Each structure stands twice: as C-alpha cells, then as structure tokens.
Structure 1
Amino acid sequence: MAELVGKSVQEAKRVILKDKPKAKIVVVSARSMVTKDYRPDRCRGTDTMASGCADSSPMLPPYILPEDGAASCYKEFVLDAAAVLPEDGATRCKLMEAASWMPLSYSRKAQDWAPRFLGPWAAAHPAHPLGPALDGPLPFSLETGYVEVEETHGVELFYYFIESERNPQEDPLILWISGGPGCSGLNALFFDIGPLKLDVAGYTEGLFPRLFYFEASWTKVSNVIFLDAPVGTGFSYAREAQGLNVSITGTGRQVRIFLERWFVQHPEFASNPLYIGGDSYSGITVPVTALEMANHNPNGELNLKGYMVGNGLTDKNCDDGGRFPFMHGMGLISDELYEGALDSCVGDLVSTPKTTECAQALQAISEATSDINPMHILEPLCEVEYLQHSTPNRIFATRLLVQEENDEPGSIFPRTASPSLPVDCRASGYYLSDIWANDAEVREMLGIREGSVGIWRLCPTLLHLRMDVHNTVPYHRNLTQRGYRALVYNGDHDLVITFVGTQAWIRTLGYPVVAPWRPWYSNRQPAGFTTEYAYNLTYATVKGGGHMAPESRPKECLHMIEKWTSPAGRL
C-alpha cells in the first residue's frame, strides 16, 4: 500500500476499491479512535475481529493512532491484512496493539463492539469527550451495548455498565431504571448515582461539553447497569414501529429478558446480589419489574435480593394528597390557606373540585406556590429559555423535555445558540447532555447503531407507552411478604413525591414497626431518618434531598446504599 501515501482520501479510496471492490473503508477520528467493522460474509475458519470477523473467543481489534499531527487515519479491513491510510497531511499512521491501547468490551451480538474507557487513553487525548477534565486514566470500567429482548419486532435495549470500584466480584449488582417514564440511563449516570458529571461551570459556548469524574457515585460500592428502558428511551429502539407499542408490564417482562441474556454474556456477575432500583416514575416500573423477575425465576438464575425506590410514584391518592400537608408543614402555605382548602373541599384535595369554593381555595394555593421549584423547594426555579420546543413556556428544573414530531437532529439545541447556563440551575446540565449525546463521534464511541435513533433526548415523552399499572402498593406487599428486601426513600424537600405521601401509602400495608423512627448518619451527622418495618421493608428520608435525592445529597445517599446493601443491612 505504499503507493497510497500522499494521495488524497478520495484518490486512495478509488485505488483500493478498484483493486478490491468489496473492501470497506472506515474512518477513525482522533476523538473516538475506535475502529469497528463486521463482515460476516468473509468470516471463515480462524478469522477474528481483527479482520472484521468474530469467533467463539473474540480477539480485541487493533487501533489506528494518527501521527504527524493528523486528525485521523483510515483503515481498510481485508481478510488477511489491514491497510492504513494517512490523512490530513500525515506521512504515516501507526497500528497499535490492543493490549497497549483502549480495550473494547464484547457485547451480546458479534457485530456490536462497545468501548471501555480504560487505560491512559482519556488523559492522552484531550479532544475526546471524556478527556478534557480527566487527569489520568478513569478509575472505573464502562461498557455499553445492546441486548435484544423481543425478536418479532426487533426490540433492542441499550445499556451502560460500570463495574464497582471496590470489589466487582462480590459487590451487589444494581439494575437502574430512570424515571420519566422515558428518561435515559444517562440521566442517572450523569445526574443521579453515576461517576461522571457534565462541567456546567466550565462550559464555553460553541465548544464540546466536558465531563469530570465524580467520586460520590454508587459505583464506588456496587456494579451498576444504567438501562435505557422502556423501549424508545435513550438509545433503545425497535427495528419495526410495532415494537414501540409496549406497556409497563410488558416493559417489566423485557427488562427480565434483558437481564437473563445479559448474564449469559456476563456469567461472572450472575452470583452477585441483584437489586432493581430507580426513582420518580420508576416507583411504578421498579416494583413491576421486580415482581416479574420473582415470578419467572424458578431455578434461581437471577439472584434477586430486593429493590429500592426513591421518591417514587406509587399511589396517586397518597402521592397527590401528601403535597398539601407537606406545603403547610414546610411553611409554603399559611394555616388559613390550608384549613380553608380542607373546609371548602371537605377534606378531599385530590379529586376534581366539586364546588366553586373548593376550586378557588386550590387556586389560591397554586398561586402562592407558583414560583417554588417542585423538584427541590430550596433550589431556584429556572426559566430555561433555550428549550424553545418545550412546553409550558416556564420550564421547571425537571427532565420533562417534549420532542416535536418534525424535529431534526440539531434543530432544538443549535451549537451556535447563546444560552446562559446558570450554575445553580440543574437544567443547565440537562441541556449539555443533549449536546453530548447527539454528537456523531460520541455515538460512534458508544457503539450506537447508525439510523437506530434520531434526536436523542434526556427524557422524551413516550407516546407509545401504555400505562397499565397505576398503583404499585400491591406489588410492594407481594414482594416483601415473599422475602425480598425493599428500601423506600424520600428526599425530604421534594414537592412532587413528598415524604408525607410516601409514608401514607406505607401505612396502608399495615406492617408492624420493627425499629421505630430514628436518625441515620453519614459522616457522623444525621443524614435523614429511618423506620424499619416487618417483611424487610426499610423507609428512610434524606435530609435536604430533592426529587432525585442522590443528585442533591450524593455523599449521604452513597452511604445510605452502602449501609443498606451491606451484610448488616441497616442504615
């Protein structure tokens, strides 16, 4: 291939294709540096992934490293050898051994290779999405991939898997489903319980968002799968549109299948204690999924020990009814407003008002609290003007981002826009996540299948999802009475799902108290309060926490989950 040196990319392509018409040429940019190809039509005998093939014990492919200041190099995959073509004025490109470069993790399908962010790569390549704010190698392994959970319509669930930084062979495995419904696994990875954060304070208009390592992550003490579920969430997709028509119970079934098949490819984690977790709307999804696993696990292949739900939607009457005594107790509404509403509405503050007096009393409360951030009553309510396609006009600091049907990639959050990103507004980070995940080279790095997902949104509206479960109290009763452990917790400054409402539905279980209300501690300070009930149910508040308690109180929540999943099992 020496005759190709010095030729333009197009000239080099013509030369190669003239000699080898079926050859496939792949661009490897300096940002992602991952070369991927799969040619099943020419995989024979002992061919390996280094030749674009796969066998029963796949080898790691080599990597192409540009030299002489080149932005990228080209590699042609052929059966017996690889031809490396220089670009951007480079005089040569270097083929790196897999052992000395960034390894890949083998995902379920042979043609899907997903990167692990390991080794010295991120620190040595500041142009990479993970590089600028990272000093040295990442202290954890990150794997991405797909698992097919329904063959008829081709439903593929996408995941991010991070091994525990402590003892991955023995630490618990948590499968985390973000709320919404429809919030991506990146929602939890970036903003809730994961080890990466977007650098809002250091963001410069027009540049690529930077990430930094965050130590108070649940991956310090547990292995975590961040799952894009239900289908249509994040990078999960269906090859046929009918595959998007799924219910909450159907999602539980698909998540069970996901885990069963994931363990086939990761048998080393099959014996780890397994927990299902989530927050917000996952108060519905998590118990449904856990019960699905409990009901379809005759041989104990899934080592399910329990589940955890934070500020979870559970029972509408309790959840909604808890907001009014919460607002009153927190000093957001006066005695007169609260007692007037109780009198006018005859104690029913949840149902549609039946009288004008009741409607007026509730309207007065709404007006008095309209500028309160419901996700965390002590944090500012931010008007995020750059979310031009979101409704209503005033955007609360939430993840309820609505995608228009005619949106095209890049139309909602143009790079040339000039948004003000206030550091004290959590929505600023949500905005940057859209930029990050919609970047073409990030998608290549993550192994996203081309054409599978258009515009990525942190929390899109899943119009196809059927809400066939509206109350999960029976699921909690079923699971706990069968011996599964449950942790139910509330950030105590959340107005969306209040600790008042959560305690109300827990009381409907009728469980006796085993250990009465007491403080639990983090760093020798009260971090909240807890009550232990019969049937392995633990309830806890997180002092100062909001709707996503780990987002606002990360260190305390890390200690909470470490204690609860420990052999002692108590906060």
Structure 2
Amino acid sequence: MEKLLWAIVGLSVICSVTAVAAGDEDVIIHQVTDGKFTDHLIKELPGAPPYSFDMHSGYITVDEAHQRALFYWFVEADVEDPTTVPLTLWLNGGPGCSSVGGGTLSELGPFYPDKDGKTLLKNPNSWNKVSNLIFLESPAGVGFSYSNTSADLTTGDERTALDSYLFLVKFLQLYPKFAKLPFYIAGESYAGHYVPQLAATILKLDKDSVINFKGIAVGNAWTDSSIDNFGAIFFWWTHALISDTSFYGMAKTCNLSATGPLHSLHHSSGEEKTCDDFVELAANEMGNINIYEIYVDVCLSAAAQAETKHFAKQLNRHPKRPGSLGALPLKTDDSKYDPCIDNEVEAYLNQPAVQKALHANTTGLPYIWTDCSNIVNYSEKDLLGSVIPVYKDVLLKSDLKIMIYSGDVDAIVPVTGSRAWISTLGLNIVEDWKPYYVNNQVGGYVTKYDKMTFATVRGAGHMVPYTQPERGLYLFGNFISENA
C-alpha cells in the first residue's frame, strides 16, 4: 500500500516500504511481445476463495522503442453484467508505489491476504461491487512494470501521465466491450498529481472520444506543497501531537514550498534554531505514532522495525520520526485486516505461482516485488509543484465530475490542507457543509460546489478504502452513480 512519508517529518514525499536494491539487470528481466495480446485472463489465483467475476492481468507496452511496459490487474465488476456499470482506473501514489499492492490487495480490491501471506480473504467492501476496476503499476520501475531502457527510470509527472494515457488507449483496444462505459479515474496520496494530470492529458489528446471520460475522485490528495505542508503541521498542532514551540518554530522558519525528499538535517551552529531543529523537535514530541491514521497502532513486526531503521539511515533522519514504515491501521471492527498487511502482500506477490498466475515477471527469473520502488528517480520539481493550475485552467472548465475526499485522521496529507487549497479555487457553494450517513451513523461531511464535491470520511486515515472500507465504498458508489 502506497504511503507518503515526510522526509522532514511531514514536509516531503517518498515511498515508505523497503525496496530491494536493483541494478539495470533487475530492470530489464521481463520480456513482453506487444501487438500480440496474449490471453491475460487469470485462470486460477493461488489461495483465493471462490469468486464469480473475471480478472485479467499482464503487460501493455507503452513505448516500443524503449520496451517500456506497464503491468495492470483488471478486476471485472461483481455484478450480473459488468458492462452495465462504470470502468474505473485506480492509481496509488508515492510517487513510485504500486496500485496492485496498495489498491488491489490492501484497499479496494476483492481480496486481501491473510496473515500467512498465502491465503486470500474476501473483501466485503470491494469497489468492484459498483465498478469495473483497473489497477495500474505506474511509472515504469514500479512493482512489475519495467523498461528495457535504464534512462526511463528518471521520470516525472508529464511522462507518467502520457504513459498512462497510452496504456488506456491500448487497454480499451484489448477489452473492447468495456470501451464505451463511463470512465472514471480515482486514487489517493501522490495520485493528487497523477489523477488530475492524466485527466488533463485525456482531455487534450483524446480528440476522437475513445475514452468515455466522466470524472475523477482523489483522496487525501497531495496537491500543493506549500499549502499541504502547512496543513500538516497545523493538523499536528491542533490534534495535540506537538508543542506550541515546534509548531510556531516550523511556521516561522520553514520554507514549506521548497522542502523535498532526502534533505538531510543540518543543525544550526549558533544559538538561533533552524527549520530542521524544529522539525526534529516535532518528531521527538510525536513519538512513534501511526502518522497515516493517528488514533491506531503501528506494526510491531520485526520486518517493519527493520524498514524503519533502513529508511532512517537513508534519510539521515532521527530514528524516532513519526510513523513506523510499513505501519498500517489496526482495524477495530470484525474484519481480519491487521496493521502488518504490507508484509503479507509482499509475501503473497513474491510467490512464483502467483507471479505465473498474474502473467507477471514472464521470464521466470528471480524477481522480488516490492510495494514502493527505490530505482525510480522521480522529479523533485514535480513533487514540489502545484497542480492547482491544472484544476483552474483545465478541469474546472470541463464537464468532468470532480470529488476530493479526505480521511479526517490522516496526518500526512490531512483534511486541513485539502480544505485550504480548495478554498483558493473560487468555487461557489451549492450545498454547504452537512453530514451524510452510512448505516445510521455519520459517515463524514460533504460540501457541494458548482464544479466540485468535497467530502470527509469520518475516522478514516490516509488510505480511506482500507481504514473505513464501508464508508469509502458508499462515498465512491454515490459519486459514480447517475444520481450523485
């Protein structure tokens, strides 16, 4: 499951799951022949319970010259006729984290792994109850996706959007009966960049309306570094995670629009404290909490602790910075999710029988799948850039339905930042803030603007479909319905 992890404790974005070191030989081990679409039907998924819908997975090449191919997992809707409901592309963020490990097997897909890492359990709140779902590992170098050209591993928002568009065009050629369905893009976290930029690319390039594009939905969306970063430190302070000293110190000394990943701490040599000093103070004050959902526990497995130490060393961070890498929320309902689900997902996808069933790693050579890539060199300029202009100049001038939603106990890209950047769009309120209900309980709150809907999900963390699955499904199902 993809996560954002602040390199200065909330002030930048990187992947948080350990990836196996890989040289060029690891990048080019896959071989794919495009033009001859082989049968991508998943005939038998190891460890899965009985299911009545079809699933497909495999590679689609988006650049023949470079042999750059993206891996996808397509889950048809669990309804009598899947061509009667929409088609949705789901994107996890990072940047550089997997939509297969996150979306398919941890959040909104039909299954999730049991603690043995071999058996799959049914997800009663899978979004394939209301939509056909495409989970795409993007950009190349993430998960099973690859390129035979090493230079492709240095990438950014523009190529990621273009590759995803080319993938969609070929995907609809491969699955023509789904081509005219209402199409949506959804995602979370750094998909706050991926989703709107892909949407703008489709609007620009799809002149023949090959894609029946209807709308986008983004959760806890990383959108504008300055606004989202201030939203984060403000959330920490107002939720009693840090002191007045560290909050006002960061607000005064930190350039929140220019703080990127892998920035090491440089302590002041004199008496005057710097931004990094206040950031380290905040990290110590928060302790080892689950920064993705602040009111639940962290994973205490040996693997998760090892990941924490690994990235603390890589980032030159204080080892007590908030958030245990690999730590996911402990479910408080009757479901069998556990806070260490990342470990089970990785164990499941690294079984040779599973990779064969998914038509992944087609050479059969040893390949270790990891949730987030450490071989993708993603543009820091793009990471720190704002996509607010994409909304103002393109998306809000289109006929697309737009929903921004926010789990309200996420402290990485919290609701405070999302509300702040939405306020800069100058939208007119059609229906002001009000609660919505799921099973007679407040599921969250919603505000409808003339060009956008904003909703919160009560009690949800950074990964809404994982932390509040029933409320997440309700919200998404209503959004894509004709009456939403």
With normalisation by structure 2, the TM-score equals 0.80
Distance across 2 between alignment mates of 1:159 and 1:523: 34
Conserved in 2, the CA contact under 8 Å of 1:270 and 1:301?
yes
Q: Which has the larger radius of gyration?
A: 1
The code of the aligned residue for 2:374 comes to T
Check the 8 A contact 1:252/1:285 in 2, yes or no: yes
For residue 222 of structure 2, what is the aligned residue in structure 1? 313
1:524: how far off?
2.2
Confirm or deny: 8 A CA contact 1:176 1:277 kept in the other structure.
yes
Q: CA shift at 1:341, angstroms?
A: 3.6
**Cα deviation 1:475-522 (Å, max 9, x = unaligned):** 122212222111111110000001000111111111121111111121
Structure 2 residue 296 is the aligned partner of structure 1 residue 296: no
For 1:340 and 1:305, locate their aligned partners in 2 and report how far apart those are by CA, in whole Å.
43
Conservation of the 8 A alpha-carbon contact between 2:96 and 2:376: no
Q: Aligned residue pairs: how many?
A: 418
The structure-2 alpha-carbon separation of the partners of 1:371 and 1:350, relative to structure 1 and needing over 3 Å to count, comes to farther
User: CA–CA distance in 2 between the matches of 1:321 and 1:452?
Assistant: 46
Partner of 1:457: 370
Q: Following the alignment from structure 2 to structure 1, what is the Cα–Cα distance between the partners of residues 173 and 234?
A: 49
- Please say if residues 184 and 214 of structure 2, whose CA atoms lie closer than 8 Å, have aligned partners that are also in contact: yes
* 1:153–1:241 contact (8 Å) kept in structure 2: no
Deviation at 1:234, TM superposition (A): 1.1
Aligned to 2:36: 110
Q: Tell me the equivalent position of 1:171.
A: 85
- Quote the sequence identity (%): 29
Contact 2:237 2:247 in 1 (8 A): no
Range with greater deviation from structure 2 (218-227 or 299-308): 299-308
User: Which of residues 364, 375, 386 in structure 1 aligns to 2:303?
Assistant: 386
What does 1:532-551 align with in structure 2 at a 5 Å threshold?
532-535=448-451, 537-551=452-466
Query: Relative to 1, partners in 2 of residues 1:238 and 1:312: Cα closer, same or farther, differing over 3 Å?
Result: same
Task: Give secondary structure in 2 for the equivalent of 1:169.
Answer: helix
Offset of residue 399 of structure 1: 5.2
Name the aligned partner's letter for residue 444 of structure 1: K
Question: 1:280 offset after TM fit, Å?
Answer: 0.9
Match for residue 282 of structure 2? 365
Q: Deviations over 1:36-74 (max 9, x none)?
A: xxxxxxxxxxxxxxxxxxxxxxxxxxxxxxxxxxxxxxx
SS of match in other structure, 2:482 = coil
Distance in 2 (CA, whole Å) between partners of 1:159 and 1:172 is 18
Q: Alignment partner of 1:300: what SS?
A: coil
Q: Which of residues 182, 185, 189 is equivalent to 2:96?
A: 182
> Does the C-alpha gap of structure 1 residues 398 and 538 become closer, same or farther in structure 2, counting only changes over 3 Å?
farther
What is the aligned partner in structure 1 of residue 404 from structure 2? 488
CA distance in structure 2 between the partners assigned to 1:347 and 1:264 by the alignment? 49
Q: 2 CA distance for matches of 1:510 and 1:540?
A: 17
Cα drift, residue 357 of structure 1: 4.8
Task: Give 1:374's aligned residue.
Answer: 291
CA distance in 2, matches of 1:339, 1:391: 25
2:151 to 210, 221, 242: 242
Aligned 8 A contact 1:239 1:452 in 2: no
Aligned partners of 2:211 and 2:278: how far apart in 1? 51
8 Å Cα contact 1:158/1:236 also seen in 2: yes
Query: Secondary structure of the residue that 1:322 maps to in structure 2?
Result: helix
1:406-435, Cα deviation, whole Å (9 max, x unpaired): xxxxxxxxxxxxxxxxx8852x21112222
Query: Which amino acid in the other structure matches residue 87 of structure 2?
Result: L
1:108: Cα distance to partner?
6.6
Which residue type is aligned with residue 499 of structure 1?
V
Distance (Å, rounded) in 2 between the aligned partners of 1:563 and 1:237: 36
Instruction: Specify the SS of the correspondent of 1:392.
Output: helix
Distance 1:231 1:348 in 2: 31
Q: Does 1:142 align with 2:49?
A: no
- Quick check: 1:154 aligned with 2:64? no
Residues 474 and 113 of structure 1, relative CA distance in 2, 3 Å threshold: same
Q: CA deviation at 1:243?
A: 3.6
Provide the residue aligned with 1:524 in structure 2. Answer: 440
Gaps of 5+ in 2: 1-32, 260-266, 314-318, 328-335
- For residues 179 and 501 of structure 1, the distance between their equivalents in structure 2, rounded to whole angstroms, comes to 17
Q: Does 1:511 align with 2:420?
A: no
Distance (Å, rounded) in 2 between the aligned partners of 1:381 and 1:504: 29
Query: Which of 122, 140, 146 lines up with 1:213 in the alignment?
Result: 122
Amino acid corresponding to residue 313 of structure 1 in structure 2 = W
Partner of 2:353: 441
Segment drifting more, 386-395 vs 265-274: 386-395
Distance (Å, rounded) in 2 between the aligned partners of 1:559 and 1:500: 23
The answer to whether the Cα contact below 8 Å between 1:154 and 1:243 also exists between their aligned partners in 2 is no
Q: Map 1:329-344 to 2 at 5 A.
A: 329-333=238-242, 336-337=244-245, 340-341=248-249
Distance 1:364 1:279, change over 3 A: same
Contact map agreement 2:154 2:376 (CA 8 A) in 1: no
The runs of at least 4 consecutive aligned structure 1 residues that moved more than 6 Å come to 346-355
Measured in 2, the distance between the counterparts of 1:184 and 1:297 equals 26
Residues 373 and 381 of structure 1 are in contact (CA less than 8 Å); yes or no, is this contact kept in structure 2?
yes
Q: Distance in 2 between matches of 1:235 and 1:347?
A: 38
> Given the superposition, is the C-alpha separation of residues 264 and 551 from structure 1 closer, same or farther in structure 2, using an over 3 Å criterion?
same
Q: Is the 8 A contact 2:111 2:120 kept in 1?
A: yes
Task: Tell whether 2:180 aligns with 1:266.
Answer: no
Look up the equivalent residue of 2:468 and give its one-letter code.
Answer: R
Unaligned runs of 5+ in 1: 1-106, 123-127, 401-422
**Structure 2 match to 1:93:** none
Evaluate the alpha carbon distance shift between residue 451 and residue 445 of structure 1 in structure 2; reply closer, same or farther with a 3 A threshold.
closer
The answer for the alignment partner of 1:82 in structure 2 is none
- Structure number having the greater helix percentage: 2
Determine helix, strand or coil for the equivalent of 2:73. strand
Give how far 1:172 is off.
1.2
Task: Work out whether residues 182 and 229 of structure 1, in 8 Å CA contact, stay in contact via their aligned partners in 2.
Answer: yes
Determine the structure 1 residue equivalent to 2:186. 277
Distance 1:503 1:445, change over 3 A: same
Partner residue in 2 for 1:502: 418
**Would the aligned equivalents of 1:183 and 1:399 in 2 still touch at CA under 8 Å?**
no
**Residue pair 2:299, 2:326 contacting (<8 A) in 1 also:** no
Structure-2 residue corresponding to 1:479: 395
Task: Tell me the amino acid that sits aligned with residue 181 of structure 1.
Answer: P
